[in-house]
Amino acid sequence: MTVYDPAVLDPAAAAAKATAEILESTLRGTARGVVVDSPPGAGKSTLVVRAALELAAAGRPLMVVAQTNAQVDDLVLRLAEKEPDLEVGRLHSSDSDPYDRALDALEQVRKSAKAGDLAGLPVVVSTAAKWAHVKNVEPWAHAIVDEAYQMRSDALLAVAGLFERALFVGDPGQLDPFSVVGADQWAGLSYDPSASAVSTLLAHNPELPQHRLPVSWRLPASAAPLVSDAFYPYTPFRSGTGPGDRRLAFGVPSDGSAPDRVLDEAAESGWGLLELPARHTPRTDPEAVHAVALVVRRLLDRGGAAVSERSDAPVPLTADRIAVGTAHRDQAAAVRAALAALGVPGVTVDTANRLQGREYDVTVVLHPLSGRPDATAFHLETGRLCVLASRHRHACVVVCRAGVTDLLDEHPSTEPVQLGVTVKFPDGWEANHAVLSHLAEHRVRWTP
């Protein structure tokens, strides 16, 4: 197991050491499985691509299991970019338009809806759902399972017969998989089908080597300590960049309005909390939605420019580098409508579930508990807040009604304790408090 070693001061060296150990266990270890925990933006995709290339180079037939088609296409493109000579199979569904058309331009990528057509290729990539339908084939020597913490145990059950050994990579802090029907009757069983693939794997194979990527390259120095403390208290990580390496500046000065002031605060400190007056509202709180849209609008109007380790000159902050995150789909739809009304195109607006694995310069988040009269398990889920608070490279602005701390105090977690289920730390209640108390230092009150 990799441990956090403050003695290794250089983040790049720490990350390289961890990667080398992971590749060593994967390529030369004896265990059937290797588990890698990766905090947000720690180079998980890079690791997957590198491990895939090295396994292919070692002549081990490799299957890669990702969770969504977008992830699969992204992986295939990365593999092709790194190693244009490597033949890659893209196994896809028989729906219409089953894969990214960009793959058609790549000669070395063979695409098929039948696993048999792709037999013998060094690497075959597909989604867990598609792999589950593959039957009666020679098992692969090795597999890489990406986003393994978002994969459900029953999905792993359906594909595990296809490979001899596997590397499981994922982020334990993000959203847990869920089921639309109750699965309490299996809670506590080591193979609870609704649990994550990794928890089942480790319950049955506790001796498997577990590694950790220690450096987040995405999160700025202002965000990594908070995200690490609030969501990964026992497995801390740090940012790859130091304070001052990333800067955000605006060409147009503040007009003194609340959105402008919260943007200045966020540009300065990496965090901003725009607090609306306390009120119980429907999910699509019109005032909060409008405030979110206004912040985005001002962010673009004020000609933001981002300085980072990626380039020497400031890079203009464009709409495609901004995302709005919400808890519910109807909230996302309401924000989209509000942005359209303000004439702002091109900004990604999505729920936490869909923002997983994505990266932006600035994010604007509608707090999951804003305006709610109660705090349900859904809204308290640690992973939801973690995803929303860890998508940004520069700054994150949270829009929220006042009174959420009181709401939390009135609603301690009441989920029944299930025998045999490992209690997850931190719980959402605690993580929410940790984030809110940090945000309170960057608060700007809404003044209409």
How far apart, in whole angstroms, are the C-alpha atoms of residue 110 and residue 135? Answer: 20
177 binds another protein (CB under 8 A): no
Considering only 21, 74, 146, 154, the residue that binds another protein (CB under 8 A) is 154
Considering only 84, 242, 243, 282, the residue that binds another protein (CB under 8 A) is 282
Considering only 179, 269, 413, 437, the residue that binds another protein (CB under 8 A) is 179
Max Cα distance, the chain (Å): 67
Considering only 181, 313, 419, 423, the residue that binds another protein (CB under 8 A) is 181
| Closest distance to another protein from the beta carbon of 146 (Å) | 16
Least Cα distance to 409 among 433, 444, 387 occurs for 433
How many residues bind to another protein according to rule CB under 8 A?
37
Look at the alpha carbons of 7, 11, 15, 16 in this order and tell me if their dihedral is positive or negative: negative
Residue ranges in 111-140 that form contacts with another protein under rule CB under 8 A: 129, 132-133, 135
Considering only 70, 106, 141, 157, the residue that binds another protein (CB under 8 A) is 157
Where are the alpha helices (H) located in 206-305, listed in sequence order? Answer: 224-231, 258-269, 286-301
Tokens of 159: 């594909």
Residue ranges in 299-358 that form contacts with another protein under rule CB under 8 A: 329-330, 333
Considering only 9, 28, 30, 97, the residue that binds another protein (CB under 8 A) is 97
How far apart, in whole angstroms, are the C-alpha atoms of residue 330 and residue 225? Answer: 32
Residue ranges in 30-59 that form contacts with another protein under rule CB under 8 A: 32-33
Considering only 46, 108, 190, 281, the residue that binds another protein (CB under 8 A) is 190
Q: Which stretch binds another protein (CB under 8 A): 4-12, 185-193, 290-298, 357-365?
A: 185-193
CB-hemisphere CA count at 13 Å for 268? 12
Q: How far is CA 255 from the centre of its chain?
A: 34
DSSP assigned state of 357: T
CB-hemisphere CA count at 13 Å for 176? 18
**Contact call for residues 80 and 213 (beta carbons, < 8 A):** no
Residue found by looking up tokens 């994010």 in the block = 363
Considering only 22, 36, 55, 160, the residue that binds another protein (CB under 8 A) is 160
| Closest distance to another protein from the beta carbon of 167 (Å) | 13
Residue ranges in 238-267 that form contacts with another protein under rule CB under 8 A: none
106 binds another protein (CB under 8 A): no
Considering only 27, 86, 113, 158, the residue that binds another protein (CB under 8 A) is 158
Residue 301 vs 350, nearer CB to another protein: 350
How far apart, in whole angstroms, are the C-alpha atoms of residue 192 and residue 184? Answer: 9
Secondary element (H or E) of residue 174: none
Residue found by looking up tokens 């609306």 in the block = 276
Considering only 182, 256, 373, 448, the residue that binds another protein (CB under 8 A) is 182
Residue 242 vs 346, nearer CB to another protein: 346
Residue 202 vs 344, nearer CB to another protein: 202
**Contact call for residues 191 and 153 (beta carbons, < 8 A):** yes
150: left (phi over 0), alpha (psi -120 to 50) or beta: alpha
How far apart, in whole angstroms, are the C-alpha atoms of residue 215 and residue 398? Answer: 24
Binding mask 192-231 for another protein (x = CB under 8 A): xxx--x--xx--xx--------------------------
How far apart, in whole angstroms, are the C-alpha atoms of residue 34 and residue 169? Answer: 8
Where does this chain bind another protein (CB under 8 A)? 32-33, 96-97, 129, 132-133, 135, 153-154, 156-158, 160-161, 179-183, 185-186, 189-194, 197, 200-201, 204-205, 282, 329-330, 333
